[in-house]
Structure 1
Amino acid sequence: MDFVYAANPSRVVFGTGTIERLGDEAERLGLERLLIVSTADQTDQAHLVASQLGARAAEMFANAVMHTPVEVTERAMSVVGDARVDGIVAVGGGSAIGLGKALAMRTDLPQIAVPTTYAGSEMTPILGETKDGAKVTQSDSRVLPEVVVYDVDLTLSLPPRLSGTSGLNAIAHAVEALYARDRNPIVSLMALEGIGALTQALPGIMDNPDDRGARAKALYGAWLCGTCLGAVGMAIHHKLCHTLGGSFNLPHSETHTIVLPHALAYNLPAVPEVKAQLEGVLGPDPARALYELAGTVGAARGLKDLGMLGTAINEATERALANPYWNPRALESAPICALITRAWNGEPPQSD
């Protein structure tokens, strides 16, 4: 057995009430003037972070938005300069953490990530930025947070439906890690554990959003899935979602939720060993199981429900195929168009 496994050097603090250790983590990094980054909807949690940091909280920027538009990053960069900050704390989901990464890319400032969703991007050296209607993804060690503080309590306010789509977004990272070109046994173990934890936890959160056990299991699964995303390459699913999100301004986790079963169905015939692994976690039809899980968590199952026009399907197909990239199954225009069409309609997945 031959493989290469490279672990990313993030420090992870996981548990309940761990936000209270945020000041200690900032002190350990030698940070005195921190910029707190969040979305407008998460200013309450940003203020909670500020209260934990005390005098170390130098400034707040609560204007992060999805897909990390370059123009928003440029506005935040002005705040970085004016406030003379020496580090960044991003609190929230992928939008806030993405902005924190974009600032780190430009400044090489240390980051502390405080995730409040199950997106998993906090565990990756990957940054996706949007400019002029196109999303560009790059990998750079500068954007990997130095510390990630997972606090189960901060996820209790995440609405059940958003918890479901955020969790399915995380599952997508692990699914593609299983058939990544540079996959390895360690990442596959984490991927299967993460998928199992999330598929068990998400229905429980739907039944009782205050179930701390289910919330903890979901956050644990999200951490594992995010670690997979940061450790190996991705394939057609992530390419499609970045294309759809960046080109048509579709919501991130909802797009991942819709596309995942279809992308998996497309690839499974080319990776029978992965199909066997997923059957052990998801049952005899893994793609259909993820489609049904989306229904269980109340997610939209058609891209048309997110506002994408049917006339954009051909454009999406062309953009998805524009730049060659690795995928376990050859990328062909007609089957990819059929995949996107089924995802647009909200139909069950199938392999062409």
Structure 2
Amino acid sequence: MVTLNSEFINKVCMDLVRECIDEDGNKKKPGDKWTLLDQCHTVTCFPGDYTVLESHQINCERMPKPACHSNLPAVKVEETCGCRWMCPCVCMGSSSRHIVTFDGLNFKLTSNCSYTLFQDIQHDVEVLLHEGPCRAIPKMNCMDAIEVKHRGVSIQLFSNMTVTVDGESIHIPYSSSLFEVTVYGAIMHEIKFSHLCHNLTFTPRNNEFILKLNPKSFSSETQGLCGVCDQNHANDFMLRDGTVTANSEAFIREWTVKEMGKVCEIQREDDECSERAISHCHLLLSDQFSACHRIIPPDMFYDACEESSCYEEEACEMITSYAHICRENGICIDWRTPEFCRKGFSIY
């Protein structure tokens, strides 16, 4: 920030010579305009030996926050001359097979396949999800691994908490010119993109991933199951050729990765679902989560829980995901019980 002291104000327009002088001592004619070093103020020279200083700073605290399609609160983005509010670009996967796009659409995966979650061709980024049968409950699908490809390097985060770079096991924490990889509490992986500043977390025991894009460095021309982050539901189910479908099954097929020797299988039939599992979803609407309701409406999570929770384990994972988002917004809720979703629960 440039401070305009009395010395600058006195010399900016000299009475004797009737001409304007900028902060570097350069002469300016009436009508000339120049920008100060902070890039947030301009000075205009006028006839009659005076100048006008204009501020271009923006105070976003006085501006209304946008209502985001994802139901997540808007985030403040700091800029050179102030700040602005933006809807966060967050894609989530939870409850074994449930995906929520950047703009808040949700759908479920029913096969143990590999999928392209996110692709940004401009920045050479691709994020893949590899699913397979759960070890503890084979009738369900689980997230076996998350793979990140960027500038010719491939990092895989596995459900057993091991990590590989280009197929070679590495020790954590790991840092390179492209990535920082960390493990928290032996339960959660985190990848930070060094230049792009995107963030990816993967918690295998909860069957959960969260991909957050840096609002300053992502391209709106993103593709994959996470959709397009532009506050427009209509184009979330975009295919590789740029056309849009309303059919979620066709959308999922488009972004299923074909692998040699691997056959995708559906692990269960929905008619075997437990009514008791769905009843747990009401916990999301209960007073227990009321402190979080004011910041993040639970409706989307509740609807997804009712639709996708065939077993109690899946209801547990969906509620865990909502609690995780609440915690990231400063609200911690102790909701687990010995009878349901006890601490340390894992379907692995």
Short-chain TM bin: 0.3 to 0.5
Structure with bigger RCO (C-alpha 8 Å, 6+ apart): 1
Taking structure 2 as the reference length, what is the TM-score of the superposition? Answer: 0.32
Between structures 1 and 2, the one with greater helix share:
1
- Structure ID, larger Rg: 2
Between structures 1 and 2, the one with greater strand share:
2
